[in-house]
């Protein structure tokens, strides 16, 4: 393959960066659906297993299709390297296994993805890892939570479902002054809108299941960071622990990345139109979307996210009590016909969900209240349908609330 010029834009990298082509010269990246690799001779096999020579040996340790995805995602994020994993959660598991040991301390926001809170706050607590949960938006709380044994700050921005935004650059400074690393879960924005490494983050976490695939087909995840961090800290864990991405899923996400830029742009534009429209509806009490002027961190979000709000918004159905709010939200969720009732996000199909009874259903009512997730809250992941059809659908659902 010809060498790509430097300084290419994301849209160009997204269709061209990949591992070397096979001897057949295929133009679309091949799917290498194989678990093992035939070794040319025993001496070569020995050198490859010893790490003295490059070459594939076994797909838990490496696969050309997975390599293509890793190279492409790293290029989009502006990172030196990436490791693909079987799911977003297994990427977080790998990061924690690689970076943390008993006695270490982590700081996370208490509005992180629910499974992340469980994994670090409950599962890793069993191995003696301490975790402080702080406010998503208050930088002072992050600073005050620093301890001598703080090893990692882990942020997610914007958050699910209320789209709270945190200041990546400020958190990177706090982490680095304390000798810790900053990891950012870039699931909601993707590199098409937000590049955490440029803002000072050390590691990026992805759920490839969401926008990177973009069509709701496969589970996948990834970590992006420096080559040194990958080679010395994360790859050795990956090889032993085996949270490997299947070549088939890697191929699907690799193809998904080719349309990432235009999807994120089109879905953000539709989401902004939906958010503005919802704000003007009498049956809607409040809309949460970083692209709206009414969003508490609107300016920070626009500076950090390439001027775009992303595809996900939430809105609260107006009601007099939590019971009425739940009934009304359920009415809307059961009445839509251009959107699917589905807790996934980042699909080209618009998806609606009720966080209080699904993704945040395991929280206590008090925890939900603290997180600001009411019974009338509906999350909407905006897809690629025509925005007039989505508006007409929701207008009909809202008008028929009794």
Ligand X SMILES: *Cc1c(COP(=O)(O)O)cnc(C)c1O
Among 70, 77, 104, 156, binds ligand X (CB under 6 A): 156
Direct distance between the N- and C-terminal alpha carbons of the chain, in angstroms, rounded to an integer: 63
104 makes contact with ligand X (CB under 6 A):
no
Residues 6 or more apart in contact with residue 259 via CB below 8 angstroms: 14, 214
Residues 6 or more apart in contact with residue 140 via CB below 8 angstroms: none
Total number of residues that touch ligand X (CB under 6 A): 13
332 makes contact with ligand X (CB under 6 A):
no
347 makes contact with ligand X (CB under 6 A):
no
Between 146 and 373, CB nearer to ligand X: 373
95 makes contact with ligand X (CB under 6 A):
no
Among 105, 151, 210, 255, binds ligand X (CB under 6 A): 210
Between 130 and 209, CB nearer to ligand X: 209
Element (H, E) at 317: strand 312-317
113 makes contact with ligand X (CB under 6 A):
yes
Q: How far is the CB of 342 from ligand X (least distance, A)?
A: 12
Q: According to CB under 6 A, which residues from 183 to 202 bind ligand X?
A: 185, 187
Q: Which two tokens stand for residue 219?
A: 């589970």
Q: How far is the CB of 218 from ligand X (least distance, A)?
A: 9
Q: Which of 234, 165, 153, 160 is nearest to 201 (CA)?
A: 153
Between 210 and 354, CB nearer to ligand X: 210
Q: How far is the CB of 138 from ligand X (least distance, A)?
A: 20
Q: How far is the CB of 267 from ligand X (least distance, A)?
A: 15
Q: Which two tokens stand for residue 66?
A: 């997975």
Angstrom distance (rounded) from CA 111 to CA 134: 9
Sign of the C-alpha dihedral, residues 93, 366, 343, 186? negative
- Say how many residues make up the chain: 402
- Nearest residue to ligand X, scored by beta-carbon proximity: 88
209 makes contact with ligand X (CB under 6 A):
yes
314 makes contact with ligand X (CB under 6 A):
no
Site stretch for ligand X (CB under 6 A), options 26-34, 136-144, 203-211, 271-279:
203-211
3-state secondary structure of 169: helix
Q: Which of 295, 272, 117, 96 is nearest to 181 (CA)?
A: 96
How many CA atoms, within 13 angstroms, populate the side-chain half-sphere of residue 263?
26
Phi, psi of 7 (to 5 degrees): 60, 35
Angstrom distance (rounded) from CA 99 to CA 353: 34
Q: According to CB under 6 A, which residues from 64 to 93 bind ligand X?
A: 87-89
Between 87 and 194, CB nearer to ligand X: 87
Q: According to CB under 6 A, which residues from 221 to 260 bind ligand X?
A: 221
Binding site for ligand X (CB under 6 A): 87-89, 113, 156, 160, 185, 187, 207, 209-210, 219, 221
């Amino acid at each position: 393959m010809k060498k790509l010029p430097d300084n290419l834009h994301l849209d160009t990298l997204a269709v061209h960066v990949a591992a070397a082509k096979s001897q057949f010269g295929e133009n679309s990246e091949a799917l290498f659906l194989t678990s093992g690799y035939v070794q040319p001779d025993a001496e070569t096999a020995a050198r490859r297993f010893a790490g003295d020579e490059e070459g594939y040996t076994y797909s838990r340790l490496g696969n050309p299709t997975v390599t293509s995805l890793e190279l492409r995602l790293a290029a989009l994020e502006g990172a030196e390297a990436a490791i693909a994993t079987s799911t977003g959660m297994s990427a977080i598991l790998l990061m924690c296994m690689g970076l943390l040991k008993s006695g270490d301390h982590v700081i996370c926001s208490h509005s992180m993805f629910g499974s992340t809170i469980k994994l670090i706050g409950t599962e890793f607590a069993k191995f003696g890892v301490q975790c402080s949960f702080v406010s998503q938006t208050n930088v002072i709380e992050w600073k005050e939570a620093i301890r001598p044994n703080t090893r990692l700050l882990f942020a997610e921005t914007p958050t699910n479902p209320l789209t709270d935004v945190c200041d990546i650059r400020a958190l990177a400074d706090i982490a680095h002054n304390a000798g810790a690393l900053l990891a950012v879960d870039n699931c909601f924005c993707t590199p098409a809108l937000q590049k955490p490494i440029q803002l000072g983050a050390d590691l990026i976490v992805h759920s490839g299941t969401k926008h990177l695939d973009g069509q709701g087909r496969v589970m996948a995840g990834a970590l992006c960071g420096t080559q040194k961090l990958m080679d010395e800290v994360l790859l050795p864990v990956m090889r032993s622990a085996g949270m490997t991405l299947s070549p088939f899923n890697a191929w699907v996400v690799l193809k998904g990345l080719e349309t990432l830029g235009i999807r994120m742009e089109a879905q953000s534009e539709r989401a902004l139109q939906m958010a503005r429209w919802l704000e003007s509806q009498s049956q809607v009490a409040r809309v949460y979307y970083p692209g709206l002027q009414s969003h508490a961190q609107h300016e920070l979000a626009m500076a950090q996210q390439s001027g775009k709000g992303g595809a996900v918004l939430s809105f609260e159905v107006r009601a007099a009590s939590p019971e009425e709010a739940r009934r009304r939200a359920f009415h809307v969720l059961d009445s839509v016909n251009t959107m699917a009732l589905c807790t996934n996000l980042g699909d080209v199909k618009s998806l609606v969900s009720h966080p209080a009874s699904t993704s945040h259903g395991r929280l206590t009512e008090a925890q939900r209240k603290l997180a600001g997730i009411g019974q009338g809250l509906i999350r909407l992941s905006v897809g690629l349908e025509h925005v007039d059809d989505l508006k007409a659908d929701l207008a009909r659902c809202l008008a028929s609330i009794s």
